[in-house]
Amino acid sequence: MATNNHTTHSLLVGYLLWILGFLGAHRFYYGKQLSGTLYFFTLGIFFIGWIVDLFLIPGMNREADIRYHEGHIDFNLAWLLLAFLGLFGIHRMYMGKWITGLIYLCTGGLLGLGYIYDLWTLNDQISLLNVADR
């Protein structure tokens, strides 16, 4: 049986984002955009799903490590920057997307819509940049 030796996502970051998980943060981090959106609008499915996810995070972490490509852009740092400074575009600047980062900085993440877009697509954006640098 083959094992996966690379890690793109961190359990520690997953659990840190779980604190905001009733808004779906940890689910977005692990590439589960639909359930992340559902959690956002239902407060973690009325907090019950949020509590259950304490036990599901290790499995979500393994799936993310298999699905996404590691490289020079660190998923964990980018996600922490998005979660806490996303409206300022700092995560985009970190990824080398300076123009859109500055636009986010001046517009509050394009009035929040760009921030939502990045919640949905950040893992794929990073994975594509990491693959392109190989």
Average pLDDT over residues 27-55: 94
Question: Are 75 and 134 part of one and the same domain?
Answer: yes
Question: What is this structure's pTM?
Answer: 0.89
14 vs 3: CA distance, rounded Å: 21
Among 17-21, 49-53, 99-103, where is mean pLDDT lowest? 17-21
Question: Are 80 and 132 part of one and the same domain?
Answer: yes
Average pLDDT over residues 79-83: 96
Mean pLDDT of the chain: 93
Question: Are 16 and 48 part of one and the same domain?
Answer: yes
Alpha carbon separation from 36 to 1, 10, 25, 129 (Å, rounded): 32, 18, 7, 23
Which residue among 43, 67, 91 closes a domain? 67
Average pLDDT over residues 121-127: 97
- Tell me whether residue 4 is in a domain: no
Cα angle value 77/42/121 (rounded, 5°)? 35
- Tell me whether residue 1 is in a domain: no
pLDDT score of 1: 42
